[in-house]
Amino acid sequence: MLEPQENGMIDLPDYEHVEDETFPPFPPPASPERQDGEGTEPDEESGNAAPVPVPPKRTVKRNIPKLDAQRLISERGLPALRHVFDKAKFKGKGHEAEDLKMLIRHMEHWAHRLFP
């Protein structure tokens, strides 16, 4: 095998025989069951306080509207598409990207009004 200087590699120190640093172990987590007073709240230090049961939070479920045939044929559905593009003017050849952007913007506006 070639020597490190011969093949152009830098001479690196030998890390296999170096001892790692020793770090102290992590302290135990503070828990309310401890009796020495560490990690407890001020009102729990007396030891007479009973645990207060926390009622579960109530969640209100919203009704999600469904996209069905009735919604599509309603006043804001497909019949509204006729009026969405009344004021839209397409620029034509050479401006296809801008025209497509405007078309998508108007369609998104219609869709959000139909199905919020």
pLDDT-based confidence at 97, cuts 50/70/90?
Answer: very high
Query: Considering the chain, what is the average pLDDT of its residues?
Result: 79
H-helix or E-strand spanning residue 43: none
Residue 100 is assigned to a structural domain of this protein: yes
Residue 98 is assigned to a structural domain of this protein: yes
For residue 95, what are the domain limits? Answer: 91-116
Residue 80 is assigned to a structural domain of this protein: no
User: Is the pLDDT score of 4 beyond 60?
Assistant: no
Give the span between the Cα atoms of 72 and 76, in whole angstroms: 8
Residue 75 is assigned to a structural domain of this protein: no
Q: Tens of pLDDT along 32-81?
A: 665 555 544 555 555 566 788 888 888 888 888 888 889 888 888 898 88
- Judged by phi (left if over 0) then psi (alpha if -120 to 50, else beta), residue 89 lies in beta
For 100, counting Cβ atoms within 10 Å of its Cβ (0-12 exposed, 13-18 middle, 19+ buried), the class is exposed
Residue 4 is assigned to a structural domain of this protein: no
pLDDT-based confidence at 108, cuts 50/70/90?
Answer: very high
User: Is the pLDDT score of 20 beyond 70?
Assistant: yes
Residue 47 is assigned to a structural domain of this protein: no
Residue 116 is assigned to a structural domain of this protein: yes
* Count of domains observed in the chain: 1
Residue 84: how many CB atoms within 10 A of its CB? Answer: 14
Q: What percent of the chain has pLDDT over 90?
A: 15
